[in-house]
Amino acid sequence: MSRTYNFRRNITLYHGTLTALLPGIMEKGLRPRGKAKSHDEYLQMASMPQFVYLTSSYDLAVQHAVRISERTANGADITVIGVELNSLDRDLLYPDEDYLSEEWNSDLRDWTVRVRLNYMKRHQDEWKESLGMMKTVAHPSMIPVTALTEYPVPLWMEKAARFSLRSQTMRLKMIAASRLAAKAATL
């Protein structure tokens, strides 16, 4: 890699989630989803079940929580959880697979979970690049309650994120409808 990122200073990493999940998280810690259904099914590639995903961007955490809320939880309330990078064992951090797919021009969507996991393991030392470029990393185990802090989402920010998501969704639906109409016109 030609780029280097220095994370000597402590930074806060964030995880967006539903407020309804907060009591369990603050009691048992922030855990990988395991066999639970992915909230990211609507994306082209669901998150890996072995990881907790964290971002250095509070805004990205809010956007993720809003996507979960809007698409899988009928607009339920959201919150953001923070964890200090220095409280994590950096040897356990992995690059986000979206970073790997982008950086290495690999179509990970078509790979099995096992193959994706092996690919992530081979590139584990690139977590700093993932955090620097995509603002995301993956952590493969439970993050203890003692390392977590709740960061409530201001209502104005949540509303703005919901509006943005709905506008984007509407644009995508309009594009899809015009493509269908164009295709039907050629038949």
pLDDT digits (tens, 9 = 90+) for 124-138: 999 999 998 889 999
| Per-residue pLDDT, 39 | 58
| Per-residue pLDDT, 37 | 65
Q: With a threshold of 0.75, does the pTM exceed it?
A: yes
Q: Which amino acid is at 96?
A: D
For CA atoms 27, 35, 12, 124, the dihedral sign is positive
| Per-residue pLDDT, 7 | 65
| Per-residue pLDDT, 181 | 81
| Per-residue pLDDT, 42 | 46
| Per-residue pLDDT, 107 | 64
Are 151 and 79 in contact, with CB atoms under 8 Å apart? Answer: yes
| Per-residue pLDDT, 29 | 96
Q: Which residues of the chain have pLDDT under 70?
A: 1-8, 36-46, 104-110
| Per-residue pLDDT, 178 | 84
Contacts of 158 (CB under 8 A, 6+ apart): 62, 66, 78
- β pairing state of 52-55 and 94-95: unpaired
